[in-house]
Amino acid sequence: MRRLGLLGIVLLSAVFVAQNPTPTVPDPSTQLVWICPMDKDIRSLIAGNCPRCGMKLTTDVPEPAEYHLNLSVIPRAPEPQKPARLIFDIHDPWKDNRVTKFTVVHEKLFHAFIVSEDLQFFVHDHPVWKDNTFQYDLKFPKPGLYPFSVTSTQKPPHRS
């Protein structure tokens, strides 16, 4: 009788396991990887938001690359407190083709940071897209050097 009870438990266990197969472990080599556009070290196998910055994870983050940036200033030698236009023209690093499609990052297509050499002037703003370039109007407060930094993300090519 004891053996029969043990056999019954084993059979019930086998039926339970057959009805509830063990879940398969996801294979990252065949699944999409979700990446934060801002914090590229944040990755997930499921959609969601970045735990660091809260941005929506995406599968369309291109590999980082340095793109060519041509900056034109009109007038060429701007005077302090007079309008000047900065024109940012971006080209790809492979064939030097003009880039015309961008991905929104932090709610904007393009971020410009302009700082006076003495650090007394600072701008973080968003040039507008016009005539296939990003353009920004600015009045420099005084003569001097104004180093700048820009960031944008090219829209990845369509994937089938």
The alpha helices in the chain, defined as continuous H runs, are 2-19
Q: Range with the lowest mean pLDDT among 1-10, 82-91, 102-111?
A: 1-10
The better pLDDT of the pair 100, 10 is held by 100
Domain boundaries, the chain: 23-61, 68-154
Contact 126, 150 (CB under 8 A): no
Would you call the peptide bond into 157 cis, given omega within 30 degrees of 0 as the criterion? no
Give the pLDDT band (50/70/90) at residue 123. very high
The reported pLDDT for the residue numbered 124 is 95
pTM over 0.95: no
Q: Which residues contact 132 (CB under 8 A, 6 or more apart)?
A: 89, 98, 100
Degrees (nearest 5) of the Cα angle 88, 91, 97?
Answer: 135
Give the closest residue to 63 by CA, choosing from 34, 40, 29. 40
From CA 117, how far away is CA 148, in angstroms rounded? 10
Q: Which residues contact 107 (CB under 8 A, 6 or more apart)?
A: none
Give the pLDDT band (50/70/90) at residue 9. low
Contact 152, 128 (CB under 8 A): no
